[in-house]
Structure 1
Amino acid sequence: MFVFLLVILVSSVMATTMEPEVEDFKGLVDELDIFSTKNLANNWIEGKYPISRNCESDLSRYVRALKNQELWALKADDATGRYTNGFFWGNSYFLGSATECTYISQDYSKRNQKIQVPSEVEEFNAEPHWRTKSTPIGQNVWEPYTNDKAPYDMGFFTMRISYNSSISPRSRLILLGVCLPNSCTSSDVKFVAKLAASESAAKSTTIQKIKDQHNLYDMYSDPVFWILFGVSSIVFLLMLAGTGYDYYLTRRFQKGKKAIYDPEANPKLDQISNGNHQKVINACHGKVYIPVPVADSIINGSLAVNNNNDHENPVRPPSPETLKLNVYEELLLSFSVRANLRTICDDSVGRDTISTVHGLRAISMVWVILGHTCIVIFKYSDNMEYRKIVEKRFLFQTITNGAFSVDTFFFMGGLLVSFLYFRTNAKGDLRKLTQGRPGFVAGTLKFLGFLAYRFCRLTAPYMFVLGVVEITMKWFHANSVFEPPTADHENCPNYWWRNLLYINTLFPVDQMCMIWSWYVADDTQFYIVGAVMLILATNHFKIAAFSVVTLLVSSWLTTGYIALANNHMPSSDDPLALFDKIYDKPWTRLGPYLIGMSVGYLLFKTDCKIKMSKATVVLGWLLSAMCLLSLLYGLYEAELAPMTAAAYSSLSHSAWALGLSWIVIACSTGYGGYVNKILSAPILYPFSRVTYCAYLVHPIVIRLTAMHADAPMHLGKDTVMITFLGQVVLSYFLSFVISVSFEAPVVSMLKILAPRKRKRIQ
């Protein structure tokens, strides 16, 4: 019997020893339990930890309130971020609600007012801090009790946490928001976070940075804000005065007084007369004048025209009163809102321009806004892995290859610079460009004129928007729960002068202010190169042509070498992967601009009159469509060899410009068909004319959408499309405002102050 019991005992011991130990299951909730008020309440011991006295006292009160389930403490816990779901789907934002945390300390509810509902029945539930009110229509209105207000100010702290664990294939950055007493500092919160983390989370997380709301940005103490305020005030007053004077002159016309003016010397008067009436041309003192008729003639909407055959109603000689604006009056009228809007919304184009460009410019701007919208929304979304799925879809290549939209702008820039230079200055005869001066002197003066006009035209709206970017990004850096997409709050105060000189692309991207302004800098640098080529072409066309070809080939070779050295794969890499080496550098993006200049010269030389056979036209459209579509969608699921990838990176931008070249040439010479009707539609002209301001301001609108939220967006095609459309509308609205305020007045003043113009006026 004893032996039998001994055998049983040994068998049980052996079975127990051989059984594997069953570990407690730990899911993602435990693994990602980075900050838990339950852990904080269990681990908190007052007076034991090295934190500030006020923070310790307030935290002790907070812990007691949590244990007693006081409503304000439960709200603070509710406002604190925690893992919910979607970690493997790209959710790295455990933010909670900064808005809820802010209002815990504020008495925002109307508890002293009773809800006046007929037959209202109040029922108190079992919870000690809540009550419900039932209404006759079946609604339950939840009201907090009077102890829902925190006894002190609460603050929202955003923690940047590095997460490294075996469950994640790579290191992740997690943004966690916590609602704690505002008396705590960042160092206090960092220590408290250790008490609130689970054992698993404490091993796999490292707190990199904590942002509090103690040192909030005060824009009223920023000199940049007051500079913007002062400039805006002056411009606003000038706009009021200019618009008022515009209306005064218009009323003067309508009073019935006869007056004469020189339309060449005073185009503003011609603009005020609105150009809606027939003009009576008379010779007076050897100049051409336009008599302004009596009021009843204006009301009738017509004027008698002196065609030298009407002897019954001869046109009377103009009265001695002559309207002539001095330079100050013309400059004041440059700020007229009505006149500038009329110019922007004019549905006609002059002979010295190419109407197709308006359509290309407007469409490309919308394309740019779409690409930038997706970039920002992807960054601040809680399902970033969804991007990897949509990027594999065929049509998404339109967004992936959105960089070609900028090449369209470069192409149009070179096209217009070349075409307008020859057309407006030469008027068909290149010899007129020298104007009798020595070649070097004439060339130098024209080059300086090019630079002065470009600088004055672009800089006013550019610097104003740059100031707005600096102010807004400083505010977002201090107040937004998200981290800014770029360091404009630091770079703009330090490196704004690089933007002013248009050389910011010659420096590293991490030092760049207003990062999207790289295009403005490159286009200005191309403009300088183009000015040299055009002036050289006046007397030495072959040398200029050889220089253009040399620069074009050099750009191709340089881009190919950089792409090959960095193993850049355009078929799989992010388009912005080599931003600092390929994307924004002028020597890699020069090709489309030079091709545009060549096309502009061709259209000038042929006077937009080229005869082509039907076969040539059909072949041209087919080749152009194949070129553009293959660049957009040709890399779909393609695998390129290193040499092929380098060649693609080198030649693709110029190939895009070649595809556009046919569209412009065909539409300008009468072979555009429906394409020309669409691209030259007058409805697109106003949007095209404010494209520059829309490009400057649209990233601010996109950042406002993302940085003002206290929770990440959830990606979806409908959400993205609705957000994109809203940003297009608001961006263009603001671009019209900035264009009317800064761009249009400067352009008008440049025309008034031009040497030839001043000579005519004097």
Structure 2
Amino acid sequence: MRSTMRLLIVTLLILSAIYAEEISTDIPNENTEESILRVRSLPTTTEVVEKNWTSLSDTLDVFSARNLVRNWVEGKYAIGVQCSKDITTYVKALKNEELWALKVDDASGRYTNGFFWGNSFFTGSATECEYIGQDYSRKNLKIGTESSIEEVREFNAEPRKLISADHSGSNTWFQTDPIDTLPYRLGFYMMRLSVNASRYTTTRLIHLGVCLPFSCSASDVAVIGKLAAGEFAAKHSSIEKVRDQHNLYNMYTDPIFWILAGICTIVLILMILGTGYDYYLSKKVTHQKNVIYDLEKHGKLEHLTNGNGKALNAVPGKVYLPVPVADSSSNDVQPINNNNDRENGLQPTATTERRKLSIPEELLLSFSVAANLKIICDRNVGGDTISTVHGLRAISIAWVILGHTCIVLFKYSDNMEYRKVVEKKFLFQTITNGVFSVDTFFFMSGLLVSFLYFRTNAKGDLKRLTQGTRGFIAGTLKFIGLLLYRFSRLTAPYMFILGMVEISMKYFHSNSVFEPPTPDHYNCPNYWWRNLLYINTWFPVEQMCMLWSWYLADDTQFYIVGSVILVLATTYFKTAAFALVSLLISSWITTGYIALVNNHMPSSDDPLALFDKIYDKPWTRLGPYLIGMSVGYFLFKTDCKMKMSKTTVIVGWLLSSACLLSLLYGLYEAELAPATAAAYSSLSHSAWAMSLAWIVIACSTGYGGYVNKILSWPLLYPFSRVTYCAYLVHPLVIRLTAMNLDSPFHLGKDIVAVTFVGQLVLSYMFSFIVSLTFEAPVVSMLKILSPKKRRHV
């Protein structure tokens, strides 16, 4: 037994010696104990894989307080002296777990989730950063003052209170935090980083918000950002830009702000005076002072009354003031005899004489809020107006607002990939093909210009512009008159909104956590004159101020072309018709060629993919306008009266509906050949206008049925009359909503629907204000100042 034990011990010793010798040959110049420890520390195959593996959170660890504490050494990096001291204070406070430092870290953005679902906004919370150091539950503290420090000490010395709240039947307990004292002022910085997170993603732009000392400049924050990035994040990301809060935009130093403020003040005074004078005249009528003024210009019509309270017929366009001539005791006031007076049953007397409102009085009344509001909300339409147009306008502008709302929501969302999901839905084609709503406006614009021109010319009203002239000179005067009228009518509200866009985008470029969707803060101060001349679509889209104003530029250019054709048509109709058809065909050919060369696929490409080549260019969007002009002339020639068989009406409605529906939903999951896609891009907008042409003709000639009742619904008239201002205002309203957010949207059907309804309501609220302030007074003044025959006084 003993011999067996001895043999076993010897064997173990021999094996140990052999094993120790193998270790000594693998790890030379080390003692046995160190060698054993080294062997034990060698990683296994699994450990090697884990060490080389990098998680997504490591790659996207673009800013971490832990990394900043680990890497920070005061005075080592090229940043400002005060910023360096403040960062050192921050680092020490983090190590000591001081409350203010923890809140600063908490307010800074970081990767959470949803990167592959489209989340590119690690914005943190600018609002939380702003309120650090303030007792916002009771009152604000002045940072850095002795009184604030004493208040903090007193508050922290109080026992902590527990506040309970009942939410859905469960008790949630909140513990109040002690007030923290800031050693310096904080600032919120937005960093734009280029990140390549994995082999499955291309380089993405990440927008990161960080809360840091205000003493740090943008370049300082860029250095700090590199120190705060994780090891792997530093390799796969680079800082492109940092926006600081040192040179914040101050609108009170901007001349544009004071120009707009001055204009608003003047207009407000005129509105008060005009409304007051309107009220004064109305009161005089109420008190039997027998005052009447123009219904057409001011939306007011009062009955002329005699001394016995008996109402007499009023003559529109005249104001009757008691001017005694023979018998001062007479209360009867009647105008001097003329044809209009006889038609209205008024007979002359020797006791009174007629007086009209002076031009200054009429101009002042143009600013009357009550009169303009009555005109806008009037449930009747004039004889020269096609009532169907009102419904088309109201529906189309709502469609435009829906599309623009979705564009902004998609841009500033943390789940942008959700867009690809909803775009596969059949009904989403309604939003994708919202571009046709603009064609509706082009069609209606051409329709009304043509229809009203021929109506006005037939009445002889245009001769007032060309008295004593003929031929080319007369046509030139007509053209200039049409152009001046449109420029005067559109430009006042347009330039006012442009100024508002410039100021607001400058402000949000400095203060918002998001970058503005377009560089209006730069483009508007430099290129506003292009908007004033309505030629901004001739230049690159990157230089465009008020991107949505492309429609106004195109429509004005179409108006110029259309005016030439219309003036030409009064004398040389066949030549004008040939020019119209030639322009229409050339527009089709040009659009098809551009689409084919650029391989544009309307079935799969973004509708705005070729914005600078197809979408906003006048030579590619002219078709619907020319078709509208043709329809306007047709309705004028037929006087909106024609007979159609029942079969014709049914076939017309079926073809029109089929065309509209196929344009909206026909490309769903379709694959087009290049030539077919180019033909679709070329003809689809005109096909849409042709379908609308049937709707307008059928409704105007008595074959509209329920469609005409809907489109001519009087409730839509007020919204239609402010459509122009609604188009100008609504993108600004949408931007104000997005730019004021502290964090991105989260897409979903409910949030899109609720946001759209809110934007629609707000847009119309502001459009009514702008219309009452700028549009309606200008339209009224243009009627007053337009050439007219002088009436006998």
Q: Do the aligned residues in 2 keep the contact of 1:425 with 1:433 (CA within 8 Å)? A: no
Partner of 2:488: 456
Kindly indicate whether residue 594 of structure 2 is the aligned counterpart of residue 567 of structure 1.
no
Partner of 2:130: 102
Partners in 2 of 1:462 and 1:43 — Cα distance?
54
Q: Displacement of 1:324 after TM fit? A: 1.8
Q: Displacement of 1:612 after TM fit? A: 0.3
Kindly indicate whether residue 115 of structure 2 is the aligned counterpart of residue 87 of structure 1.
yes
Partner AA of 1:57 in structure 2: K
Partners in 2 of 1:247 and 1:517 — Cα distance?
38
Partner of 1:271: 300
Partner of 1:325: 357
Q: Spell out the pairing of 1:310-709 with structure 2 (5 A cutoff).
A: 317=349, 320=352, 322-427=354-459, 437-709=469-741
Partners in 2 of 1:73 and 1:541 — Cα distance?
80
Deviations 1:182-233 (A, max 9, x none): 1111111111111111100000001000001010001011000000000000
Partners in 1 of 2:637 and 2:659 — Cα distance?
26
Partners in 1 of 2:530 and 2:651 — Cα distance?
46
Partners in 2 of 1:278 and 1:598 — Cα distance?
50
Partner of 2:242: 210
Partner of 1:161: 193
Unaligned 5+ segments in structure 2 are 1-10, 27-38, 142-155, 323-330, 333-340
Partner of 1:35: 63
Q: Displacement of 1:26 after TM fit? A: 3.1
Q: 1:51 to 1:347 in 2, by over 3 A?
A: same
Larger Rg: 2
Partner AA of 1:351 in structure 2: G
Partners in 1 of 2:350 and 2:717 — Cα distance?
37
Q: Displacement of 1:31 after TM fit? A: 1.5
Partner of 1:144: 177
Partner of 1:133: 162
Partner AA of 1:450 in structure 2: L
Q: Do the aligned residues in 2 keep the contact of 1:246 with 1:272 (CA within 8 Å)? A: no
- In structure 2, which of residues 81, 84, 87 is the aligned counterpart of residue 56 of structure 1? 84
Q: Displacement of 1:282 after TM fit? A: 8.9
Q: Do the aligned residues in 1 keep the contact of 2:733 with 2:762 (CA within 8 Å)? A: yes
Partners in 1 of 2:427 and 2:378 — Cα distance?
35
Deviations 1:484-526 (A, max 9, x none): 0000000000000000000000000000000100000000000
- In structure 2, which of residues 262, 265, 272 is the aligned counterpart of residue 230 of structure 1? 262
Q: 1:47 to 1:451 in 2, by over 3 A?
A: same
Q: TM-score, normalised by structure 1?
A: 0.90
Q: Do the aligned residues in 1 keep the contact of 2:450 with 2:630 (CA within 8 Å)? A: yes
Q: Spell out the pairing of 1:11-22 with structure 2 (5 A cutoff).
A: 19=45, 21-22=48-49
Partners in 2 of 1:309 and 1:97 — Cα distance?
71
Q: Do the aligned residues in 2 keep the contact of 1:105 with 1:151 (CA within 8 Å)? A: no
Q: Do the aligned residues in 2 keep the contact of 1:426 with 1:433 (CA within 8 Å)? A: no
Partners in 1 of 2:464 and 2:288 — Cα distance?
44
In the comparison of the two structures, how many residue pairs are matched? 729
Q: Do the aligned residues in 1 keep the contact of 2:298 with 2:372 (CA within 8 Å)? A: no
Q: 1:111 to 1:478 in 2, by over 3 A?
A: closer
Identity %: 66
Partners in 2 of 1:396 and 1:103 — Cα distance?
41
Q: 1:742 to 1:194 in 2, by over 3 A?
A: same
Q: 1:382 to 1:288 in 2, by over 3 A?
A: closer
Deviations 1:70-122 (A, max 9, x none): 11111101100000111110000001000110111444342899xxxxxxxxx
Partner AA of 1:27 in structure 2: S
Q: Do the aligned residues in 2 keep the contact of 1:504 with 1:512 (CA within 8 Å)? A: yes
Partner AA of 2:90 in structure 1: Y
Q: Do the aligned residues in 1 keep the contact of 2:299 with 2:375 (CA within 8 Å)? A: no
Partner of 1:77: 105
Partners in 2 of 1:275 and 1:672 — Cα distance?
40
Partner AA of 1:140 in structure 2: W
Q: Displacement of 1:165 after TM fit? A: 3.5
Q: 1:697 to 1:319 in 2, by over 3 A?
A: farther
Unaligned 5+ segments in structure 1 are 114-126, 298-305
Partner AA of 2:183 in structure 1: P
Partners in 1 of 2:310 and 2:645 — Cα distance?
41
Partner AA of 1:221 in structure 2: T
Q: Displacement of 1:756 after TM fit? A: 1.2
SS of equivalent residue, structure 1 residue 144: coil
Q: Displacement of 1:573 after TM fit? A: 0.5
Partners in 1 of 2:303 and 2:604 — Cα distance?
55
Moved more, 37-46 or 631-640: 37-46
Q: Do the aligned residues in 1 keep the contact of 2:134 with 2:140 (CA within 8 Å)? A: no
Partner of 1:23: 50
